[in-house]
Structure 1
Amino acid sequence: MKTKLLLIAFTALVFGSCAAQNQTTVYAKNSDISDNLDLRAVASMFGESANLQDFERRLNDPKYQISNLDLNGDDQVDYLRVIESVEDRTHVVIIQAVLDRDVYQDVATIDVERDNYNKVSVQVVGNTYLYGDNYIYEPVYSVAPVIYTSFWVTNYRPYYSTWYWGYYPTYYTAWRPYPVYRYRNNINVCINVHNSYNYVNTRRSYRAPVIYETRRTYGYERMRPNYSFADRHSNVSNRYDLDQRRVASRDLNRTQNTYNYNRSNSGRVSAENRNYTDNRSTSNRSYNNTNRVTSRENSAAVNTPRTDNTPRADYGRNNSNATAPRGNSENRNYTNRTSSSASESPRSYSENRNTNRSSSAAPVQRSESPRSYSESRGNSENRSNASRSQNMQRSESPRASQESRGNSQPQRESGSSSRGGGRRG
């Protein structure tokens, strides 16, 4: 059981390491060898170095990881050594990649020259095999680099690196190369943004190319003679033109994507507008149908008979008297109390109402309604007269009783006198 577990763990470890190795060696399809070393970062590190030894240390420091070149294909970033050649006031600093024992490949050169006015010019020139013809960056430093002071001294000795294949400084540790897109993102941190890096296509010094030819090394060119920049890119002259074409193609792709996106969105918007128009027409139709149904219902509601037992609206229309509503209310109350004809059904009332509107018997109804009103008014006057007579009788009865009481008092006095006279006799 333990043997099986160990075998499974070992198999998983092998497959995991293979997958990780395959993942780290993936490159972009449109990448180039020159994408693995940014000369602007080289120029930035040169301006921050104290001397050429410090400059070599910065180029190979794993903390910065300025280079991403793996020319020998051993899945490790190549060590970059620095050598120098001097003639009068011109210094040519050569950066070489260590590929094998006694095998080196020039990557770039730095031309440092001082004129008669003590003005120093610096140009970083890319190797023709890697970067194409006349790929040159001219840095303009915001602060004068300290490394200038180490060049023009008495008894100056040109720098020559002591490191070679299999023998490297203690601070150096080889690392695996990154994918190009990741290297481009990481290298921007190492470029000093306070400096300017101007692209030019001509060399300022006429001595520098001559000095360089005496110290040139091209071990990688010999291994792959048909893989120069001109063979890789026949339609551009150098790396700068390649970058410009990449930017143009990127902008074109972005424009096409934007156009396709806008086109798809416009089609979507037109479809949405069409759907909105359809929905709006459908809603208008439904709204019109609803209005029709509502108008029909309202007309039906208007024609629907009222459940009220008294013809208030008809009486208000037929009678012009201002006291008609009061008489109508009295008629309604009176008919609810005494008349049996007021308990007619709403159906008979609706029939009477429709008959009042449409039939020729409308004048009869009009003549009957004032009669009923006069009768009701007479009845109400009789009732009021009866109540008044009753009130008068009630008010007169106390007077009669008082008079009778007053008349009875003399009788009582006379009786008392008669009673007293009889007793006296």
Structure 2
Amino acid sequence: MKSKLLFIALLAIGFTTVEAQSQTTVYAKNSDISDNLDLRAVASIFGESANLQDFERRLNDPKYQISNLDLNDDEEVDYLRVIESVEDRTHVVIIQAVLDRDVYQDIATIDIERDNSNKVVVQVVGNSYLYGDNYIYEPVYNVAPVIYTSFWITNYRPYYSTWGWNYYPTYYTAWRPYPIYRYRRNINVCINVNNHYNYVNTRRSYRAPALYQTRRSYGYETRRPNYSFSQRHANTNNRYELDQRRVATRESSRNQNVNNTNRYNSGRTTGTDNRNTDNRNTDNRNVSATRPNSDRNYNTNRATPTGRDNAANVNTPSRVENTQRNEVRRNPNENNSRVYSENRGNANRPAPVQRTEAPRTSSENRGGYENRANSSRAQAPQRAESPRVNQESRGSQPQRENGSGSRGGNRRG
């Protein structure tokens, strides 16, 4: 039984492992280019940077590994450079991937605009080719970022990265891209949970799109013109809707796996219960088969109680079947009514155990019958044995009278 249960447990673990592997496989097949750079992480490190130069360093620092993009397929994560376009109170920060010499691909833009009340609004906008149309995150920082103070100063000069193909800063070392599931797990560490990242689908600034067009780069789009987001995902507007569909698909798959597991466990439990029921029945049969023997042994080993009147040195002999007890030699002076009463009492009692009785006198017989009556009451307390004892007492009355007569006759003699 234990070996069967162990086999079932190992089988269940195997099914669980297969299901987990199948879920991971489905998750990997649903990966997209946009999975390799989380814009919430970009917004988070932007609020922690001192200026745009520091922001570019954080984007490419191997310690953070914010990006996982490899658009030129050289098995190395692309370097991300930062350039800026400015007009009055509007700043547009453009993040570009360096693919080759003088070949760049826009990844996202950061719109920074200050209104007349000096309130600063920041929006991180994903490139429509990679993320779909109007994929925008609007961060709300818990503490006003220090980088704000660097934008509106006298004689401000827009930032323009000096790094390019095979010309990188000393802190940068290219690393191999990770699998998507691992990147998603690691990037959560770089997102400041004290901030809020609200998804919106409209741009607040009307100047920002115009400023962006003057600096736009699309080197990857020209290499793969039929691989835009709308062509990769039909009937899906942007990355946000894609995430919603993924969540719904994973929930559906998880519910299906749970239902399959419940059905499997239900069938396994039913089989186990049936086996347990068979074992219980077998145990009951064994107990029923062995119980009479236990009772016989118990009754056989019982000793005759002491302190019995008119009985001298009486030992309970081994017992035989009831037929032998009926054939025991009786005193010729016993009345037939006693035999009739005894037989009627035996008919209502369960078959007694084996007992062998030696020839006894009338005094011993009376003590033995009283002992059996007491024994019957001890073993079956729920039965009313008083009538049977009374019948035996009435049946024994003639014997006592005869015994008295005999004793009287002896004295007279």
- In structure 1, what is the Cα distance between the partners aligned to 2:102 and 2:192? 34
When residues 317 and 49 of structure 1 are mapped into structure 2, their CA distance, relative to the original with a 3 A threshold, is closer
CA shift digits 1:366-395 (9 cap, x unpaired)? 56643565578x59xx9xxxxxxxxxxxxx
Q: CA deviation at 1:293?
A: 6.6
Distance 2:364 2:54 in 1: 112
Compute the displacement of 1:310 (Å): 6.1
Query: Which AA in structure 2 matches 1:56?
Result: E
Query: How many residues are matched?
Result: 313
Give the residue type in structure 2 aligned to 1:58: R
Give 2:189's aligned residue.
Answer: 189
Residue 131 of structure 1 corresponds to which residue in structure 2?
131
Residue aligned with 1:28, SS: helix
Q: Which residue of 2 aligns with 1:304?
A: 355
After TM superposition, the structure 1 stretch with the greater mean CA deviation from structure 2, 186-195 or 361-370, is 361-370
Partner residue, 1:140: 140
Contact 2:362 2:400 in 1 (8 A): no
SS of match in other structure, 2:28: coil
AA partner of residue 404 (structure 2): P
What's the TM-score, normalizing by structure 2? 0.69
Q: Assess if the C-alpha contact under 8 Å between 1:33 and 1:130 holds in 2.
A: yes
- State how 1:217-228 maps to structure 2 within 5 Å: 217-228=217-228
* 1:132-173, Cα deviation, whole Å (9 max, x unpaired): 111110000000000000001111110000001011111111
Q: 1:117, CA displacement in angstroms?
A: 1.0
The structural deviation recorded for 1:284 is 4.4
Shift of 1:180: 0.8
Q: Look up the equivalent residue of 2:71 and give its one-letter code.
A: L
- Using the TM superposition, give the Cα deviation of residue 290 of structure 1 relative to its aligned residue in structure 2, in angstroms: 4.8
Which residue in the other structure is 1:54 paired with?
A: 54
Q: Judge conservation of contact 1:79–1:98 (CA < 8 Å) in 2.
A: yes
Corresponding residue for residue 264 of structure 1: 264
Which sits farther off after the overlay, 284-293 or 262-271? Answer: 284-293
- 2:243 equivalent in structure 1: 243
Separation of aligned partners in 1, 2:407 and 2:33: 117
SS at match of 1:138: strand
Whole-Å separation in 2 of the counterparts to 1:128 and 1:316: 110
Q: Say which SS state the counterpart of residue 34 (structure 2) adopts.
A: helix
Find the counterpart in structure 1 of residue 38 from structure 2: 38
Show CA shifts across 1:29-81 (max 9, x none).
22111111000000000000000000000000111010010111111110000
Q: Read off the aligned partner of 1:146 and give its amino acid letter.
A: V
Q: Which residue of 1 aligns with 2:404?
A: 370
- Is the Cα–Cα contact under 8 Å of residues 318 and 366 in structure 1 kept in the other structure? no
Partner of 1:347: none
The answer for unaligned runs of 5 or more in structure 2 is 1-26, 300-349, 371-391
Q: Offset of 1:277 from its aligned partner?
A: 3.7
Distance 1:113 1:307, change over 3 A: farther
Deviation, structure 1 residue 110: 0.2
Deviation at 1:306, TM superposition (A): 3.6
Cα drift, residue 275 of structure 1: 3.2
Aligned Cα root-mean-square deviation (Å): 3.0
Cα drift, residue 278 of structure 1: 3.7
- What pairs with 1:339-350 in structure 2 (closer than 5 Å)? none
TM normalised by structure 1 equals 0.67
SS of corresponding position for 2:211: helix
Distance 2:68 2:359 in 1: 101
Report whether the alignment pairs 1:78 with 2:78: yes
Q: State whether residues 141 and 196 of structure 1, in contact with CA within 8 Å, keep that contact through their aligned partners in structure 2.
A: yes
1:108 is matched with which residue? 108
Output the CA distance in 2 between the equivalents of 1:138 and 1:216.
Answer: 22
Cα shift at 1:307: 5.6
Question: C-alpha distance in 2, partners of 1:130/1:375?
Answer: 130
Distance 1:252 1:63 in 2: 37
* C-alpha distance in 1 between matches for 2:262 and 2:136: 41
Match of 2:141, as an amino acid? Answer: Y
Question: What one-letter code is carried by the residue in structure 1 that aligns with 2:245?
Answer: R
**Higher gyration radius (CA):** 1
Instruction: List runs of 5+ in structure 1 lacking aligned partners.
Output: 1-26, 320-356, 383-425
Shift of the alpha carbon at 1:265?
1.6
CA distance 1:292–1:227, shift in 2 (3 Å): same
**Separation in structure 1 between the aligned mates of residue 173 and residue 102 of structure 2, nearest angstrom:** 20
Distance change >3 Å, CA 305–CA 232, structure 1 → 2: same
* More helix, by proportion: 1
Give the whole-Å Cα distance in 2 for the aligned partners of 1:137 and 1:129. 17
Contact 1:315–1:369 at 8 Å: present in 2 too? Answer: no
